[in-house]
Amino acid sequence: MKKLNIAVTGLNATDNPAPGIPVIRSIRHDLNNIGKIIGLTYDAFDTGIYDGDLLDEVYLIPYPSEGEDALLKRIEYIHARTPIDILIPTLDSEITNVNRLMTELTSMGIKLFLPTEEQFRLRSKALLSEFCKKHGISCPRTMVINDPRLLNDALKAYGTPIVVKGTFYEAYIAYSFEEASISFQRLKAKWGLPIIVQEHLPGEEYDVACVGSGTGKLIGAVPMRKLRLTEKGKAWAGVTIKDTVLAKLSEKLIKALKWRGPCELEFLKEQKSGKYYLVEINPRFPSWIYLSAGAGVNLPATVVQLALGKKIKPLAPPQAGISFVRHATDLVCPMRYLESLTTLGELIYR
């Protein structure tokens, strides 16, 4: 059996961890035909790159803002050193550039299993409300604005508090026009326009990690309830659940989008009504994805198989009650690792 070299991005695992390291752990958990795991990273201090047990090679790559040409050049260099069989980008901001390089990457023999640009666009925060309306899916009332004066309209329509969201990342809860304006400016400076403003619904958060076939079929789904949150609202502990309503909603969404590849559906179960509202669709694995491997529905390993062109039958849902707890630890390493990354832009473990 041919050994696979798999390149994975998103390796910074701080209190807002990227999904790369859990994706690698999942792949290593179930696949035994792994050649090299190649970490692609942006900064020499991205924490996960110092885990030499998980990674074989690490390379710095240009930030997405530098464009797809810079990324292609870097991938060509890496590919010449160690041929990449499969590339798994795990950050929202990377999907567009990687998609634009699909032809070049495919001709190099690098396989991907990603959403199309159109699928990616349809689930964007700015268009999600429209998409939900079209497909009869509940979501919080939303305004997409470019002018901070319109925050007043949102406050009048939705009452307080409101949720002010950046077009790519981050969200703040605002209790007044002044607070909302500060959040607007902060998000605009960081992620640009538009800004998304939503009504705030009190309730519990539920997430579903999914893999779609690209033809409307849901290949696998792992629903999870967050048990502990960080100050940034990220899951620090969670548990698999089994809810037929949530399962049907996930199927409906994947079918409507004809989603190809991994995604995370974020729902809010309203306290008052018990009804699920779709809050976001993230176009990549969540950072808690190792739970899928632990629960026997290994979604990253499934994406590897799909990228190879294998036909995969829809996976049975996981058993309820498999939980995870995140654990921060220290990696100890010689200074030459940092030296190698900062001077050469790469670190070869083996």
Partner 1 sequence: MATTLKTQRNLKEEITLTPNGFLFDHVTGLTYTVNETGGLILKHLMEGGTAAEALKAMTGEYDISESMARKDLEEFIEQVRSFGVL
Q: Which residues bind partner 1 (CB under 8 A)?
A: 204, 206, 224-225, 227, 238-243, 269, 274, 320-321
Positive or negative, the Cα torsion across 200, 205, 209, 214? Answer: negative
Smallest separation, CB 242 to partner 1 (Å) = 5
- DSSP for 152-201 reads HHHHHHH-S-EEEE-SSS-EEEESSHHHHHHHHHHHHHHH-S-EEEEE--
CA 145 – CA 153 distance, rounded (Å): 10
State which residue, 235 or 257, has the beta carbon closest to partner 1. Answer: 235
Query: Residue 215: exposed, middle, or buried by beta-carbon count in 10 A (0-12, 13-18, 19+)?
Result: exposed
Smallest separation, CB 270 to partner 1 (Å) = 13
State which residue, 68 or 205, has the beta carbon closest to partner 1. Answer: 205
State which residue, 190 or 242, has the beta carbon closest to partner 1. Answer: 242
State which residue, 54 or 224, has the beta carbon closest to partner 1. Answer: 224
Smallest separation, CB 238 to partner 1 (Å) = 8
CA 102 – CA 4 distance, rounded (Å): 19
State which residue, 297 or 341, has the beta carbon closest to partner 1. Answer: 297
Smallest separation, CB 317 to partner 1 (Å) = 11
Contact indicator for 92, 64 with CB cutoff of 8 Å: no
SS3 103: helix
Smallest separation, CB 237 to partner 1 (Å) = 11
* Identity at 2, one-letter amino acid code: K
- DSSP for 287-335 reads TTTHHHHHTT--HHHHHHHHHTT---PPPPPPPTT-EEE---------H
State which residue, 65 or 244, has the beta carbon closest to partner 1. Answer: 244
Query: Cα 333 from chain centroid?
Result: 28
Smallest separation, CB 326 to partner 1 (Å) = 16
